[in-house]
Amino acid sequence: MRSRLAYEPRDGALFHTALTHRSATGPNNERLEFLGDAVLNLVVAHHLFAAFPEATEGDLSRLRARVVSAEPLAEAAASLGVGEALQLGSGELKSGGFRRQSILADALEALCGALYLDGGLAAAEAFITRLLGPRIAALPAPEALKDPKTRLQEYLQSRGLALPVYSVDEVQGEPHAQVFEVSCRVGALGQIAQGRGSSRRRAEQEAAERILAAIDSSSGVPRE
Protein backbone atom coordinates (compact mmCIF):
# COMPACT_ATOMS: atom_id res chain seq x y z
CA MET A 1 0.00 0.00 0.00
CA ARG A 2 2.91 2.38 0.72
CA SER A 3 4.15 2.14 -2.85
CA ARG A 4 0.67 2.78 -4.19
CA LEU A 5 0.29 5.82 -1.97
CA ALA A 6 3.70 7.05 -3.22
CA TYR A 7 4.27 8.27 0.30
CA GLU A 8 6.40 7.04 3.19
CA PRO A 9 4.39 7.37 6.42
CA ARG A 10 5.98 8.75 9.54
CA ASP A 11 3.28 7.19 11.72
CA GLY A 12 2.44 3.75 10.38
CA ALA A 13 -0.21 3.20 13.05
CA LEU A 14 -2.18 6.14 11.66
CA PHE A 15 -2.48 4.47 8.28
CA HIS A 16 -3.30 1.13 9.85
CA THR A 17 -6.21 2.86 11.59
CA ALA A 18 -7.27 4.45 8.31
CA LEU A 19 -7.63 0.97 6.85
CA THR A 20 -9.49 -0.51 9.84
CA HIS A 21 -13.26 -0.72 9.51
CA ARG A 22 -15.44 -0.30 12.59
CA SER A 23 -16.40 -3.98 12.37
CA ALA A 24 -12.84 -4.94 13.35
CA THR A 25 -11.37 -4.73 16.83
CA GLY A 26 -9.26 -1.77 17.90
CA PRO A 27 -9.28 1.86 16.73
CA ASN A 28 -11.26 2.30 13.52
CA ASN A 29 -11.22 4.80 10.68
CA GLU A 30 -14.44 6.73 11.34
CA ARG A 31 -12.74 9.84 12.79
CA LEU A 32 -10.13 9.86 10.04
CA GLU A 33 -12.93 9.47 7.50
CA PHE A 34 -14.59 12.61 8.89
CA LEU A 35 -11.36 14.60 8.57
CA GLY A 36 -10.44 13.14 5.19
CA ASP A 37 -13.84 14.01 3.74
CA ALA A 38 -13.18 17.69 4.49
CA VAL A 39 -9.64 17.54 3.08
CA LEU A 40 -10.81 15.74 -0.06
CA ASN A 41 -13.60 18.24 -0.68
CA LEU A 42 -11.23 21.18 -0.19
CA VAL A 43 -8.65 19.88 -2.64
CA VAL A 44 -11.20 18.90 -5.29
CA ALA A 45 -13.09 22.19 -4.88
CA HIS A 46 -9.84 24.10 -5.38
CA HIS A 47 -9.06 22.19 -8.58
CA LEU A 48 -12.57 22.70 -9.94
CA PHE A 49 -12.51 26.40 -9.05
CA ALA A 50 -9.36 26.80 -11.14
CA ALA A 51 -10.41 24.49 -13.99
CA PHE A 52 -13.88 26.01 -14.54
CA PRO A 53 -13.54 29.79 -14.10
CA GLU A 54 -16.97 30.51 -15.59
CA ALA A 55 -18.88 27.88 -13.59
CA THR A 56 -21.51 28.95 -11.08
CA GLU A 57 -21.68 27.68 -7.52
CA GLY A 58 -24.34 25.19 -8.59
CA ASP A 59 -22.21 24.03 -11.51
CA LEU A 60 -19.22 23.52 -9.24
CA SER A 61 -21.30 21.53 -6.76
CA ARG A 62 -22.55 19.22 -9.51
CA LEU A 63 -19.04 18.76 -10.85
CA ARG A 64 -17.68 18.00 -7.40
CA ALA A 65 -20.36 15.36 -6.88
CA ARG A 66 -19.08 13.61 -10.01
CA VAL A 67 -15.67 13.30 -8.37
CA VAL A 68 -16.23 12.78 -4.64
CA SER A 69 -19.46 10.77 -4.43
CA ALA A 70 -19.33 7.18 -3.23
CA GLU A 71 -19.12 5.49 -6.64
CA PRO A 72 -16.07 7.31 -8.07
CA LEU A 73 -14.29 7.21 -4.72
CA ALA A 74 -14.88 3.48 -4.43
CA GLU A 75 -13.54 2.96 -7.94
CA ALA A 76 -10.44 4.99 -7.09
CA ALA A 77 -9.97 3.02 -3.85
CA ALA A 78 -10.28 -0.27 -5.73
CA SER A 79 -7.64 0.89 -8.23
CA LEU A 80 -5.25 1.33 -5.28
CA GLY A 81 -6.01 -2.11 -3.87
CA VAL A 82 -7.60 -0.63 -0.73
CA GLY A 83 -10.02 -3.55 -0.45
CA GLU A 84 -7.20 -6.06 -0.06
CA ALA A 85 -5.59 -3.97 2.69
CA LEU A 86 -8.73 -3.37 4.74
CA GLN A 87 -9.05 -4.75 8.25
CA LEU A 88 -12.62 -6.04 8.61
CA GLY A 89 -14.57 -7.96 11.19
CA SER A 90 -15.50 -11.55 10.44
CA GLY A 91 -19.05 -10.65 9.48
CA GLU A 92 -17.97 -8.06 6.92
CA LEU A 93 -15.33 -10.42 5.57
CA LYS A 94 -17.90 -13.13 4.99
CA SER A 95 -20.32 -10.73 3.31
CA GLY A 96 -17.67 -9.31 0.97
CA GLY A 97 -17.28 -5.97 2.73
CA PHE A 98 -13.91 -5.41 1.07
CA ARG A 99 -15.83 -4.90 -2.18
CA ARG A 100 -18.64 -2.75 -0.75
CA GLN A 101 -18.79 0.69 -2.29
CA SER A 102 -19.46 2.59 0.92
CA ILE A 103 -16.64 0.85 2.83
CA LEU A 104 -14.12 1.48 0.06
CA ALA A 105 -15.11 5.14 -0.29
CA ASP A 106 -14.94 5.68 3.47
CA ALA A 107 -11.50 4.06 3.65
CA LEU A 108 -10.20 6.33 0.89
CA GLU A 109 -11.44 9.37 2.79
CA ALA A 110 -9.75 8.03 5.92
CA LEU A 111 -6.47 7.68 4.02
CA CYS A 112 -6.78 11.32 2.96
CA GLY A 113 -7.22 12.22 6.63
CA ALA A 114 -4.18 10.18 7.60
CA LEU A 115 -2.07 11.79 4.90
CA TYR A 116 -3.13 15.24 6.08
CA LEU A 117 -2.20 14.49 9.69
CA ASP A 118 1.05 12.75 8.81
CA GLY A 119 2.36 14.97 6.04
CA GLY A 120 0.21 18.08 5.97
CA LEU A 121 -2.04 19.45 3.26
CA ALA A 122 0.70 19.23 0.63
CA ALA A 123 1.00 15.45 1.05
CA ALA A 124 -2.76 14.96 0.94
CA GLU A 125 -3.12 17.22 -2.07
CA ALA A 126 -0.38 15.44 -4.01
CA PHE A 127 -2.10 12.10 -3.41
CA ILE A 128 -5.58 13.37 -4.26
CA THR A 129 -4.38 15.15 -7.38
CA ARG A 130 -2.53 12.07 -8.63
CA LEU A 131 -5.52 9.83 -7.95
CA LEU A 132 -8.42 12.03 -9.03
CA GLY A 133 -6.75 14.51 -11.40
CA PRO A 134 -7.59 12.45 -14.51
CA ARG A 135 -11.24 12.31 -13.45
CA ILE A 136 -11.34 16.06 -13.02
CA ALA A 137 -9.69 16.59 -16.41
CA ALA A 138 -12.29 14.32 -18.05
CA LEU A 139 -15.33 16.10 -16.59
CA PRO A 140 -17.86 17.38 -19.12
CA ALA A 141 -18.88 21.00 -19.46
CA PRO A 142 -21.00 22.08 -16.47
CA GLU A 143 -24.11 22.52 -18.62
CA ALA A 144 -24.06 18.83 -19.54
CA LEU A 145 -24.63 17.86 -15.90
CA LYS A 146 -27.96 19.63 -15.60
CA ASP A 147 -31.06 17.46 -15.69
CA PRO A 148 -33.59 17.89 -18.53
CA LYS A 149 -36.13 19.82 -16.41
CA THR A 150 -33.48 22.35 -15.40
CA ARG A 151 -32.20 22.71 -18.97
CA LEU A 152 -35.70 23.22 -20.33
CA GLN A 153 -36.51 25.78 -17.65
CA GLU A 154 -33.32 27.74 -18.32
CA TYR A 155 -33.90 27.60 -22.08
CA LEU A 156 -37.37 29.13 -21.67
CA GLN A 157 -36.31 31.70 -19.07
CA SER A 158 -33.44 32.91 -21.25
CA ARG A 159 -36.00 33.72 -23.96
CA GLY A 160 -38.57 35.29 -21.67
CA LEU A 161 -41.05 32.45 -22.20
CA ALA A 162 -43.47 30.93 -19.69
CA LEU A 163 -42.29 27.90 -17.78
CA PRO A 164 -43.51 24.41 -18.72
CA VAL A 165 -46.55 22.88 -17.09
CA TYR A 166 -46.36 19.27 -15.91
CA SER A 167 -49.41 17.15 -15.23
CA VAL A 168 -49.90 13.54 -14.20
CA ASP A 169 -52.02 11.78 -16.81
CA GLU A 170 -52.15 8.32 -15.26
CA VAL A 171 -50.68 6.19 -12.49
CA GLN A 172 -50.59 2.45 -13.11
CA GLY A 173 -49.63 -0.56 -11.03
CA GLU A 174 -49.57 -1.52 -7.40
CA PRO A 175 -48.38 1.00 -4.77
CA HIS A 176 -44.95 -0.68 -4.54
CA ALA A 177 -44.46 -0.81 -8.32
CA GLN A 178 -46.20 2.22 -9.77
CA VAL A 179 -45.63 3.68 -13.23
CA PHE A 180 -46.35 7.36 -13.76
CA GLU A 181 -47.38 8.91 -17.07
CA VAL A 182 -46.79 12.66 -17.18
CA SER A 183 -47.33 15.36 -19.78
CA CYS A 184 -45.13 18.40 -20.24
CA ARG A 185 -46.67 21.38 -22.06
CA VAL A 186 -44.83 24.44 -23.33
CA GLY A 187 -47.63 26.62 -24.64
CA ALA A 188 -45.38 29.37 -25.97
CA LEU A 189 -43.73 26.90 -28.34
CA GLY A 190 -46.77 24.75 -29.03
CA GLN A 191 -44.95 21.71 -27.69
CA ILE A 192 -46.31 18.81 -25.64
CA ALA A 193 -44.60 15.54 -24.75
CA GLN A 194 -45.26 12.56 -22.51
CA GLY A 195 -42.92 10.71 -20.22
CA ARG A 196 -43.10 7.49 -18.20
CA GLY A 197 -41.20 6.49 -15.10
CA SER A 198 -41.21 4.71 -11.76
CA SER A 199 -41.70 8.08 -10.05
CA ARG A 200 -43.33 11.35 -11.00
CA ARG A 201 -39.94 13.04 -11.10
CA ARG A 202 -38.49 10.50 -13.53
CA ALA A 203 -41.51 10.76 -15.77
CA GLU A 204 -41.23 14.56 -15.78
CA GLN A 205 -37.55 14.34 -16.66
CA GLU A 206 -38.30 12.09 -19.62
CA ALA A 207 -41.06 14.41 -20.84
CA ALA A 208 -38.74 17.41 -20.55
CA GLU A 209 -36.03 15.55 -22.46
CA ARG A 210 -38.49 14.91 -25.29
CA ILE A 211 -39.47 18.57 -25.40
CA LEU A 212 -35.79 19.52 -25.66
CA ALA A 213 -35.34 17.02 -28.50
CA ALA A 214 -38.35 18.48 -30.32
CA ILE A 215 -36.99 22.03 -29.90
CA ASP A 216 -33.61 20.90 -31.19
CA SER A 217 -35.01 19.22 -34.27
CA SER A 218 -37.48 21.97 -35.15
CA SER A 219 -35.31 25.03 -34.60
CA GLY A 220 -31.76 23.80 -34.83
CA VAL A 221 -31.03 25.19 -31.39
CA PRO A 222 -28.19 23.16 -29.88
CA ARG A 223 -29.12 21.10 -26.85
CA GLU A 224 -27.04 22.06 -23.86
Catalytic residues: 37, 109
- Residue 167, beta-bridge partner list: 183
What number of H helices and E strands is found in the chain?
A: 10, 3
192: how many CB neighbours lie within 10 A of its CB?
A: 16
Among candidates 106, 115, 22, 114, which has minimal Cα distance to 69? 106
What is the rounded end-to-end Cα distance, in angstroms, of the chain? 42
Name residue 40's beta-bridge partners. none
